[in-house]
Chain A
Amino acid sequence: MKWGVVTFPGSLDDRDAAWALGLLGQEVVQLWHKDRGLKGVDCVVLPGGFSYGDYLRCGAMARFAPVMESVARFAHEGGLVLGICNGFQILCEARLLPGALTRNAGLAFVCEPVWVRVDNPACRLTRLTTAGQLLRLPIKHGEGRYVAPAEQLREMKQRGQVVLRYAAGDGQLTSAANPNGSIDWIAGVANETFNVFGLMPHPEHAVEEALGGRDGATLLRSLATS
């Protein structure tokens, strides 16, 4: 699969994402925020970081980058899009994913490995996992508290759009296992047509044992073989 990783001013994890995908044998091209096209990629990755300095709101400025016009068109045509951390925030601001990401309930920036539970193993991001499987992934963010209006959240759950949730090591949804106060422990979601995915944890930083585990590779491979 041919992947395109977008670099915005202030992106941090673009090279890491490209490196991780390369490690998994994927073809990767770099996309620039001023690009008007997507170089014929099969999947677009919006990486982590602080695009445009997080001015106004995280992701609010990046949404208007020229490349995002192409990304939105690509997504509406069924193209595969993955937003990680700041990329997730951008996709929510662009209304390509439901909900919004707000300041962590504890106000502090959190940087730690967490357990993430697969709640929908039937989509392209999770097809190599099983329901309830626990993944060890790192998080590092200050604005990761997912919120969505109650009615919308109900519909999302019915459709299986809540793909990943924070959980304790035994899979339970304890308050201690929720690192940022996200509603319903939500860590990752899909759009209605299941071709756009966003998650706060970083799969690209969990692709080698030396980095603390390879569970992130499972998610990236799922997309690569979907």
Chain B
Amino acid sequence: MRVKVFITPKAGILDPQGKAVEHALAALGFTGVASVRVGKYLELELATASAGEAARTASTMCEQLLANTLIEDYRVEVEGA
């Protein structure tokens, strides 16, 4: 199964990259950008046919390595599920 993992800075944690992109967009004339958060996107190919198992495995991976849950949130999407 192909699993998409989205990792973003937790709400309340300053995201200076997001702020910089937000200001750059404003400088380009894009008005009405309320906020930008910059995160990470990972694609995993997992050797299982079960969407549930893939999601559980990816979540465990996030807890143990892919995200630092003190400062980051993660979201797991199983493709086609």
- Give residues in A with beta carbon < 8 Å to B: 56-57, 60, 64, 93, 99-100, 102-107, 145, 147-149, 181
- Residues of chain B lying within 8 A (CB to CB) of residue A145: 14
Q: What residues make up the interface of B, taking CB atoms closer than 8 Å to A?
A: 13-14, 16-17, 20, 65-66, 68, 70-71
Q: Is the CB of B68 within 8 A of A57?
A: yes
Contacts between chains A and B (CB distance < 8 A), count: 31
Q: Smallest CB-CB separation from A64: which chain B residue?
A: B65
> Does the CB pair A103–B70 fall under 8 Å?
no
CA distance A145 to B71 in the complex (A): 12
List B contacts of A100 (CB < 8 A): 68, 70-71
- Residues in chain A near residue B71, CB distance under 8 A: 100, 102, 147
User: Shortest distance in angstroms between B41's beta carbon and chain A's nearest beta carbon?
Assistant: 13
> Could you give 25 example pairs across A and B, Cβ below 8 Å?
A56-B65, A56-B66, A60-B65, A60-B68, A64-B65, A93-B68, A100-B70, A100-B71, A102-B13, A102-B14, A102-B71, A103-B16, A103-B17, A104-B16, A105-B16, A107-B16, A107-B17, A107-B20, A145-B14, A147-B13, A147-B70, A148-B70, A149-B70, A181-B14, A181-B16
Q: A100-B71, A147-B71, A149-B70 given as contacts; is B65 within 8 A of A106 (CB)?
A: no
Q: How far is the CB of A177 from chain B (nearest CB, A)?
A: 18
Beyond A93-B68, A107-B20, A145-B14, list 8 extra A-B contacts (CB 8 Å): A56-B66, A60-B68, A100-B70, A102-B13, A104-B16, A105-B14, A105-B16, A181-B14
Q: Report the Cα distance A107→B19, complex, angstroms.
A: 10
